[in-house]
């Protein structure tokens, strides 16, 4: 990973949705990934999970639900300007943000930024 990866998750209705997978370098010595979730859109953003998988998303086009697990659960992002940060210190193949079904009140935008340690 050569710099921060930013993914905007734009929701038009309060239903479950997920960003695309962001692949990570599992061969990096001293694996460490920082992430932030910023509410930059309209009010009423949903509660989200940060999810991971051990599956190589570069080889496989889809990830089965049984191969997805929560890295951070039930993060509240309702207030505009909310900025939540966290880290993952054990290797996972990929990371994404996912909303919980039925949360939020309509159109809103969350910016998910991921930065991994290592050399360019």
CATH number at residue 85: 2.60.120.680
**What is the tally of structural domains in the chain?**
1
**Domain that residue 15 falls in:** 5-116
pLDDT digits (tens, 9 = 90+) for 86-104: 999 989 999 998 887 555 5
pTM score of the predicted model: 0.82
Q: What is the C-alpha to C-alpha distance for residues 54 and 67, in angstroms, rounded to an integer?
A: 7
What is the per-residue pLDDT for 99?
Answer: 82
pLDDT at 112 over 50: yes
Helix H segments across the chain? Answer: none
CB 46 within 8 A of CB 14: yes
pLDDT digits (tens, 9 = 90+) for 46-60: 788 899 999 999 887
* DSSP state letter for 15: S
* Average pLDDT score over the chain: 80
């Amino acid at each position: 990973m050569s710099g921060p990866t930013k993914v905007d998750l734009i929701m038009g209705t309060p239903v479950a949705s997920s960003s695309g997978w962001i692949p990570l370098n599992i061969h990096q010595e001293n694996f460490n990934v920082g992430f932030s979730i910023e509410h930059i859109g309209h009010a009423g953003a949903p509660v989200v999970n940060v999810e991971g998988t051990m599956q190589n998303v570069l080889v496989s086009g889809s990830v089965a639900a049984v191969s997805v697990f929560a890295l951070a659960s039930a993060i509240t992002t309702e207030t505009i300007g909310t900025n939540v940060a966290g880290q993952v210190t054990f290797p996972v193949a990929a990371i994404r943000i996912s909303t919980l079904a039925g949360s939020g009140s309509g159109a809103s935008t969350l910016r998910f930024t991921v930065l991994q340690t290592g050399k360019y």
